Structure 1
Amino acid sequence: MSLASREALASARERLDALADNTAVDAAKLAEELAAVTALLDREVSLRRVLTDPAQSGEAKAELARRLLAGQVGEECVELVGGMVRSRWSRSRDLVDAIEELASGADLIAAERAGDLDDVEDEVFRFGRIVASNPELRAALADKVADRRAKAELVRELLGGRANPVTERLVLRLVTAPRGRSLDGGLNALSKLAADRRNRMVAEVTSAVPLSDQQKQRLGEALATLYGRRVHLNLDVDPEIIGGIQVRIGDEVINGTIADRLAEASRRMAG
């Protein structure tokens, strides 16, 4: 996103957070409504262009959004979308991407209120690992020509009754309406969004053997000191790294594995 769209998205996030402070707002219902608006604007290219047209006043665009959505979704959703179309967007598609993010954010607010945000965050990560390790499953879920209902049923078979309902809803929307994203990329984005909800960074930690509770606590404290904010640990075990740990935060990798040291020693000897 360009600067204008990033600023508009930041404002929309603040408005969503303000709504989240009102416990009378049904966050799960708001998520469903925002997802419906996302689907509408994704289909109606001309409509989203009108709603992001810089030649039109913000009030005129907000009034158009209200006329279209009133009676179809709740007042909170109407006001949220109205505020977004008042902002300036560099591309019409950025508006749709932002509404979709807010739909996921509203679902995460519902999980947070229920005390389930950590569970949802972990389940999204674990589901991503399962998909990454199963090429046939990934192909089935990412198939662009497959029937959406069939893919939705597959997700329900995998997660229904085994995962938090919020996790299931997030994954269902991603699988049935990827909107050009890869499955892996979409799951990573959801994981980051959940972490941001708690103002934390996500560290993917791979070790040769499971870490003890004390090791996890020490690692979390060390990373928090290093990055100046809380860090959530997504833990994975891979015996092939032999020993030590590998920590990935975004594009940065902190590698302390024995396998990596052996590889470095081999490179030096070869040189």
Structure 2
Amino acid sequence: MNTATLARQSELDRCVDAAELTTTLAAELLEVADLLAGEPRLRNALSDPTTADQRRRDLVEAVLGGKLSAGTLTVVGQAAALKWGSGGRLIQVLRRQALRVLLGLSQQDGRLDRVEEELFRLGRTAVASHELRKALDDHSTPVAARRRLVAELVSAKVDPITLALAEQAVPADEGTFAFGIDEVLALAAQARQRSIATVTVARPLTQEQHDRLAAVLVRQLGRQVNLQVVIDPNVIGGARVQVGDQVIEGTLVSRLAAAAQHLTK
């Protein structure tokens, strides 16, 4: 993946991270991805790089407005406004965002550890069983049927979010189920990283400053964060906070709330 594509992916990640994470958002993103997979004219129109970005966004509103929640419509519009190179790639990024939403929900509820463990075990089971691996990776069988097989195997044994993620790991066009599981686990690792806030300051924070800044970031980001404090004498005034690829410079940190003022005093 080239630098430009990674930048667009990060931009869409930020759009989703700013939205309210709900099962509706995840389900609707998957519905739109399925719709585009079955509607080549619409898929091509929404991914045509010769069409102005805003016109592609307007097309999303015209076709899907009233059929999706406001949050989903915003995300799909932003996805369409970015240039991915192909309709297939647009479908992939929408599915990726749906998986990120599901993982974010499991993290909010304190279930991410369980979901990761269940996905890992399921992936290893598929690898170990020749018959199961063959059934899940058989592209001559409709993907819906293979997803039903996953549900029949594990629906009563795993977290509902694990089941939803495992169903999406079933390869629709190419690849293997085990590879799909590995991709979901990689997204889970990224979800954990987004909850680590690296705070660079000139001097160590007191416990009170540490706790107040953590509380401010929780309110600002809408999720729990763990602070990793880095001492850098070259930092002059305030602090630099990085959460994933989001950077909050010191002057903004000091304005987030009174609790974050005077961090280096």
Do both proteins adopt the same fold according to a TM-score greater than 0.5, normalized to the shorter chain? Answer: yes
Read off the aligned partner of 1:4 and give its amino acid letter.
Answer: A
Match of 1:152 in 2: 147
The reply on whether 1:3 has 2:3 as its aligned counterpart is: yes
Cα drift, residue 149 of structure 1? 4.9
The reply on whether 1:129 has 2:131 as its aligned counterpart is: no
- The answer to whether the 8 A contact 1:4-1:88 is kept is no
Cα drift, residue 151 of structure 1? 2.6
Read off the aligned partner of 2:16 and give its amino acid letter.
Answer: L
Name structure 2 gaps, 5 residues minimum: 195-265
Q: Secondary structure at the match of 2:33?
A: helix
Match of 1:39 in 2: 34
Q: Secondary structure at the match of 1:188?
A: helix
The correspondence of residues 1-271 of structure 1 with structure 2, limited to 5 A, is 1-19=1-19, 25=20, 27-175=22-170, 178-199=172-193
Read off the aligned partner of 2:150 and give its amino acid letter.
Answer: V
| Mapped partners of 2:29, 2:103: distance in 1 | 13
Cα drift, residue 181 of structure 1? 2.7
| Mapped partners of 1:78, 1:129: distance in 2 | 36
Q: Secondary structure at the match of 1:198?
A: helix
- The answer to whether the 8 A contact 1:4-1:90 is kept is no
| Mapped partners of 1:95, 1:149: distance in 2 | 21
The verdict on how the C-alpha distance between 1:34 and 1:128 changes in structure 2, with shifts beyond 3 A counting, is same
Give a deviation string over 1:71-98, Cα, whole Å, max 9, x none.
2221101001111111222333222111
- The answer to whether the 8 A contact 2:49-2:83 is kept is yes
The verdict on how the C-alpha distance between 1:45 and 1:6 changes in structure 2, with shifts beyond 3 A counting, is farther
| Mapped partners of 1:109, 1:179: distance in 2 | 26
Read off the aligned partner of 1:12 and give its amino acid letter.
Answer: L
Cα drift, residue 194 of structure 1? 0.7
Q: Which segment drifts farther, 129-138 or 82-91?
A: 82-91
Cα drift, residue 199 of structure 1? 1.1
Q: Secondary structure at the match of 1:191?
A: helix
Give a deviation string over 1:166-219, Cα, whole Å, max 9, x none.
0101111232x623232121111001011110018xxxxxxxxxxxxxxxxxxx
TM-score by length of 1: 0.67
TM-score by length of 2: 0.68
Cα drift, residue 26 of structure 1? 5.0
Cα drift, residue 54 of structure 1? 2.2
Cα drift, residue 148 of structure 1? 4.4
The verdict on how the C-alpha distance between 1:78 and 1:142 changes in structure 2, with shifts beyond 3 A counting, is same
| Mapped partners of 2:99, 2:71: distance in 1 | 16
- The answer to whether the 8 A contact 2:151-2:163 is kept is yes
Q: Secondary structure at the match of 2:18?
A: helix
| Mapped partners of 2:66, 2:10: distance in 1 | 27
Match of 2:199 in 1: none
Match of 2:240 in 1: none
How many aligned residue pairs are there? Answer: 194
| Mapped partners of 2:21, 2:14: distance in 1 | 17
| Mapped partners of 1:178, 1:117: distance in 2 | 25
Q: Which segment drifts farther, 31-40 or 142-151?
A: 142-151
